Structure 1
């Protein structure tokens, strides 16, 4: 604290505030210049890792502006293990440029490379190829995944693919069309069931209905001469949080400009990297997904007749979302599961494994930007993909706890221990969904949107297309407020010419003041007041939008005009059991019953472990670590991971079909040699013991398996099981 600060606190505050203002203007100037520098860069990205482009979507039969690169591990990262699954990170094309998945060291890409996995990144150029559609993008993702699979023939299992936000539903579409190309899928902050939500939250789901549908999307594309400017998507995103957009984001930099500038400029490099979509692409997204909700209902069909049914996905799906996410709340990320599957048995008979994790507070961008999330959730997912891939079909929640001090701490992959606990559809309902009233409202909004779009195309579209020539579209794009907020503060503006020199002078004579200065205290009070006012405005605006949507689409007149009042069937179809699927399940059940006595020690071990674990409904990272060590000791080739997965699923289904018969036939799978039986049971016990205390029901089942493997109780030994050799034998 300077003498001036002590004697004249308000004078020192005035000087500090003026200096901060000059430095803040210089930050905005640097931000604007960086924006202009990137405008003409065809490979615009914010990746912090080096890479080599290995495939360009412009060379595909249906060209797209996407490209795929192989990431080069930084010096501190291990050399990629060719036996490990490759990872593919796909960034969202939702107004911003690519690279947020590898924005910094603690990121999805960084986590994958630090775990020794080969890693690929799918990015895109700022402008789409002529005629490019969402269907073309989905098929490009398939082509990229197939190329990665060809490049890694030694890997155990197909590539892991991560889709962030908009890329999440595109990835699910790709895996539904070509399931054999993909390993486990991780979709982070991805809206799939777009009608779902919780009353009083997720206000963006009402926006399409309040605006009268997708005709505005079509008009925006026409004004862009056939292209949809991603700056509109950015503006729409920002409108959801006026307190941050109009005040806090800038104030936090101004208040701490000496330290906050670099972080702010780094993020703005991505935030201001606006890209475009073809108008047809954006129309598909709004009509089919945001307003139509056809992906979650199983109604989506591509132009060539291909039906996109997410129930066709053969690999595990990991859904990561957050209660603090207003863009993709948990209901929109999760409700598609209960939309597509009647109950947990329906999900299982489709052979599907779904794992979900709901963060308590992180915002939308934090799901794939936050370093803390990368070090915790993403690190655990990456470390346990093989375990997730072999989980029996069902619904699981990933539960993380600190590993320090736990039994078997050394078996955990890091500071956190993950367990996968069996869940039911009722557990998903706790995070929201759609009520019958919501269904009718959104169904009415969908029909109104279709009518308004048809009316716009007939009346206004021809005239707008004639007026909106490419030069006009380019002028409108440059005048967009999201772009002007950058260019007005760049060196392109003559008024900013003095800022750079003034900022250099300020840095030479910078006089910071203490946080306890009365001026700083008053400044913080004023800032908090502004933030609270803008937050209240946002909340009231959201509540008004929700109420307006309900009033409009609840009205008997609107229900009658859209034809819903006369319909007794549900307002949207839900995929149900087909005769073909029922026949498939019946035939599969017959085959499983007939094969219960087929196999050997591998089948016996995995059937026994599955039965013991069924009592707790939990799979633990520590147990799988023991299994992994056993596989390494005996050689991976003895039981490759795909074969391991096949046996686990088959034995699990046998237990579901007829638990009593599956146990009764278990001895027929065991070798006659007592020594080998004892060694086999020792393996089972080592896996079960890895978690520490064994619950009573699980201990009872383990005792049953012990009797099957080692023999009946010996009366001479006081009723204890006669052991053929110690269960903890090092022969394991």
Structure 2
């Protein structure tokens, strides 16, 4: 055992020196990074388009164009992508952190790309509403720069940028093409028992008065390091041990990746007091977004049902920051059923990853190549989907895949129709939980009022700007970088010693028994820290449920302990039903209108309606056919598909009966139209019996038999009238 022990001792000593040298490099890196005028971690060159500080209402945001790397060809006819990064304590750039990223896959698909980032310090007085106005200007600039593109830009909002983009889309729906919200919380109270304890934090801390105190201690600024610390507290095993141990145990290969990530993780930014207070009061604790209770300064209510662009929600079961319930339950808050979604003209597509964590949604190469890559390649398919609720499913493309040339990448994406019961099946709050969170929100309002009345004036009078700057510099998360930079004299010898170690590096064999002991020891530490986390989470949940579940506490703050009606359901707009009836009447008048093109789309939708799924291969074939016949603009194609889908929903019997009158008398044109329908329906493979029956019905409507023409049309069989959308 002496030889293995000596080998391990030498290796461990060398790894220790190299580890501390990486810590030194990390500290230097952060100091250099934060000294930049506009620190970011984008892996691409960019060109400034709009500096938000020059706007009428200045903000610390900016719009840049991503310069395509050498060898990447951009198709000027494809819609641009705009990636908006979260301002949640870290600096910008995570959406383009590396080649396999949201920006990377969009560029690879040929789309022009833009990025919305921000500076470390806010403009004094800027608000969330000011930022929304600036982002509207950014989108207008991008649209104007691509007049040859018929579709509006696709906007990706990561994490907290997701809810900001959704708010803007509700106020300015005409600006947007498809919206992708990745890891974005929209329903803040939602969750399931035994998981995701972060939603209990506001109640256990007594509400948002601590947010106001932190802002006052920052002299009107909220230190983003506090938000980052909240994230780190969710996984103490990783924060206190695993992240550093992984570097130590793989010091010869891990340093570059570790330093790259830490450059972003340690680049803390600030928010104005007004901004963070709005976020905490209106969103995190108040949960007012999905309930339609947020208003702009001019009194306009932000109603997410006003959004007219397709909404893609990407979340993960492994995400403890934004679990699937918080990403999706806003749908339950706003709509009664899928017909309700359709009546608003909305298309919602969601996909749930089984395991990736919160940051993995944005930075995982596997996720970028698969989910984000498929979204980028099939964004026009998503834009054209009929109104409704869908789940995006990704299947491996194999040798058995039908028509593999019609599917881009290594997966085949299809969008399967879903109902609200599929969302409910993920789990969520019951009425008792809703009363608890409503009580916590009321307690927060009371405590904030008490703080502002009795404490805030004194704190603001005592804290000066230099004192606030000093407290920010001494934040523990900043000190962990500063203490190990070259400015610390104790680190002076580390660089020279590390150089000597690299010249004489002797790695130990992986099967060395002491390495195995080291791994076992590390696993025991992780297990202990996980047990501590689980115990803390269990205690936090029980305390929250007990305190805010008390009928006495609920009654004291004005919550009815016996309430059985939803406490956060968005109110119905009384004009909506009137406008809906007018739209239905308009669509009924257009049932016999549209000619052969509308008849083909109507026949295709009817033939494939029982599938309850739309496959990317059929859409790709349709795209190729459109290009071969004049390339109908995607916006016009989308409008036609949606109109014909709604006509079928409103009155299927009349819609089918009208098809023969919409067709030209020439049998050749009818045969070509029917062949297109058959070809598109067959793109995903063998037809089912139901598909064949419906296709045969379409053939009769087109005056054809399965094998040829018929001079006389059969009468369309009477069918049940579909429910109006």
Distance in 1 of aligned mates of 2:477 and 2:653: 66
Distance in 2 of aligned mates of 1:463 and 1:198: 41
Number of residue-to-residue matches in the alignment: 710
Q: How does 1:142-181 map to 2 (within 5 A)?
A: 142-181=136-175
**Aligned residue in 2 for 1:444:** 439
**Aligned residue in 1 for 2:650:** 657
Deviation per residue, 1:48-81 (Å, 9 max, x gap): 1111011111111111000011011111211x21
Residue 565 of structure 1 deviates from its aligned partner by 2.7
Q: How does 1:168-247 map to 2 (within 5 A)?
A: 168-247=162-241
**Aligned residue in 2 for 1:465:** 460
Distance in 1 of aligned mates of 2:657 and 2:24: 76
- The TM-score with structure 1 as length reference comes to 0.96
Residue 304 of structure 1 deviates from its aligned partner by 2.1
**Aligned residue in 1 for 2:480:** 485
Moved more, 245-254 or 703-712: 703-712
**Aligned residue in 1 for 2:496:** 501
Distance in 2 of aligned mates of 1:565 and 1:652: 44
Q: How does 1:365-514 map to 2 (within 5 A)?
A: 365-405=359-399, 406-514=401-509
SS in 1 for 2:390: strand
Which of 100, 106, 115 is the equivalent residue of 1:112? 106
**Aligned residue in 1 for 2:76:** 82
Residue 597 of structure 1 deviates from its aligned partner by 0.6
Q: How does 1:308-327 map to 2 (within 5 A)?
A: 308-327=302-321
**Aligned residue in 2 for 1:699:** 692
SS in 1 for 2:313: strand
Equivalent pair of 1:443/1:571 in contact (CA under 8 Å): no
The 3 A distance-change label for structure 1 pair 651 and 462 is same
Equivalent pair of 1:189/1:328 in contact (CA under 8 Å): yes
Q: How does 1:618-629 map to 2 (within 5 A)?
A: 618-629=613-624
Distance in 1 of aligned mates of 2:608 and 2:538: 46
Equivalent pair of 1:106/1:374 in contact (CA under 8 Å): yes
Deviation per residue, 1:665-705 (Å, 9 max, x gap): 11111111111100111111110111111121111101100
Structure 1: 4+ residue segments shifted above 6 A = none
**Aligned residue in 1 for 2:128:** 134
Indicate whether 1:599 and 2:594 are aligned.
yes
Residue 9 of structure 1 deviates from its aligned partner by 1.2
Which of 55, 62, 67 is the equivalent residue of 1:72? 67
**Aligned residue in 2 for 1:681:** 674
Distance in 2 of aligned mates of 1:573 and 1:584: 25
Residue 570 of structure 1 deviates from its aligned partner by 3.4
Distance in 2 of aligned mates of 1:577 and 1:229: 39
SS in 1 for 2:120: coil
Equivalent pair of 1:165/1:191 in contact (CA under 8 Å): yes
Equivalent pair of 1:342/1:576 in contact (CA under 8 Å): no
- The answer for unaligned runs of 5 or more in structure 2 is 712-725
Indicate whether 1:263 and 2:248 are aligned.
no
Deviation per residue, 1:419-438 (Å, 9 max, x gap): 00000000011223321111
- The answer for unaligned runs of 5 or more in structure 1 is 1-5, 714-719, 725-732
Moved more, 293-302 or 267-276: 293-302
Indicate whether 1:49 and 2:44 are aligned.
yes
SS in 1 for 2:611: coil
**Aligned residue in 1 for 2:718:** none
Distance in 2 of aligned mates of 1:107 and 1:77: 15
**Aligned residue in 1 for 2:27:** 32
**Aligned residue in 1 for 2:296:** 302
Distance in 2 of aligned mates of 1:579 and 1:313: 18
SS in 1 for 2:570: coil
Residue 568 of structure 1 deviates from its aligned partner by 4.5
Distance in 1 of aligned mates of 2:392 and 2:564: 37
Indicate whether 1:589 and 2:584 are aligned.
yes
Which of 637, 641, 647 is the equivalent residue of 2:634? 641
Residue 723 of structure 1 deviates from its aligned partner by 6.3
Deviation per residue, 1:123-172 (Å, 9 max, x gap): 00000001011111111111111110111010120000000000000000
Distance in 2 of aligned mates of 1:459 and 1:282: 21
Residue 359 of structure 1 deviates from its aligned partner by 0.3
Equivalent pair of 1:564/1:571 in contact (CA under 8 Å): no
SS in 2 for 1:33: helix
SS in 2 for 1:187: strand
Q: How does 1:610-621 map to 2 (within 5 A)?
A: 610-621=605-616
SS in 2 for 1:8: helix
Distance in 2 of aligned mates of 1:495 and 1:461: 41
Residue 573 of structure 1 deviates from its aligned partner by 4.0
Distance in 2 of aligned mates of 1:228 and 1:188: 25
SS in 2 for 1:677: helix
Distance in 2 of aligned mates of 1:68 and 1:135: 17
Distance in 2 of aligned mates of 1:115 and 1:399: 20
